[in-house]
Amino acid sequence: MNDQTPPHAQVLGGLTPYLQVDGAFKAAEFYKKAFGAEQVFFYPPDEQGRTMHIHLHVNGTTLMLGDAYPEHGHPYKPAQGYTLQLHLGSDDIDAWWQRAVDAGCEIVTPLQVMFWGDRWGQVKDPFGVDWAMNAPVK
């Protein structure tokens, strides 16, 4: 590695979501509060306050964020057609849920025991991303 090569943060988990959001730095701060995310790497903001990359660790996995760069063929598009799901194999799903709601997530589907036997609920964050939480009933 030379002085021009940035350090690489460890990628956790098998599949890594990479979200384009309107305000990646604000989203990263929100995800720290709502989901206990740890920011492990980021590229500094450009003159417009945007970043091309933020690397987070959330509940044992990796989530990556970036801002839109329409001048480079990456225009902003609102979140659609997907839900990020936190699978929590702990007795603390109520704490995870409450932290997300207290941080400002909107409840879409209340946390409840579902027909498949797990406790599941869904919230939407201020950036338009749906997050589902699921934990086995013990």
What is the number of domains present in the chain?
A: 2
* Residue after which a domain boundary falls, among 31, 46, 72: 72
Backbone angles phi, psi at 130, to 5 degrees: -85, 135
What 3-state class would DSSP assign to 66? Answer: strand
User: Which pTM does this prediction carry?
Assistant: 0.87
Asked if pLDDT for residue 2 goes beyond 90, the answer is no
Q: pLDDT tens digits, residue range 64-106?
A: 999 999 999 988 888 777 887 877 666 789 999 999 999 999 9
> Nearest 5°: CA angle at 129, between 132 and 59?
50
- Could you list the residue range(s) of the whole structural domain that residue 120 is in? 83-136
The answer on 68 and 87 residing in a single domain is: no
Give the pLDDT confidence score for residue 1 in this predicted structure: 42
Q: Does the residue 77 lie in any domain? A: no
CATH number at residue 47: 3.30.1900.10
